[in-house]
Structure 1
Amino acid sequence: MFLSSVDKHPWFSSDTIDLFVLFEGFDFIVHHNVYK
């Protein structure tokens, strides 16, 4: 889960988290389309 990842990396800034969420969303969409 993403929240547990945040707990493991408390040094994340809000900007880093936003970029990580966007990247994860993009990665999910790409994989969903590739493996659908």
Structure 2
Amino acid sequence: EHTIRVDLGVGRAADFCYGCDLSRDYVKINADYHT
């Protein structure tokens, strides 16, 4: 988890985003996994 703060001096707001690891190694490790 990482926090990035930006102060533009124009009020308050909040947001979030999701990320994922789709590196070559991740895909290779999970290539045979089926749901």
- Bigger RCO (CA 8 Å, 6+ sep): 1
Q: Which one has a bigger Cα radius of gyration?
A: 2
TM-score, with structure 2 as normaliser: 0.26
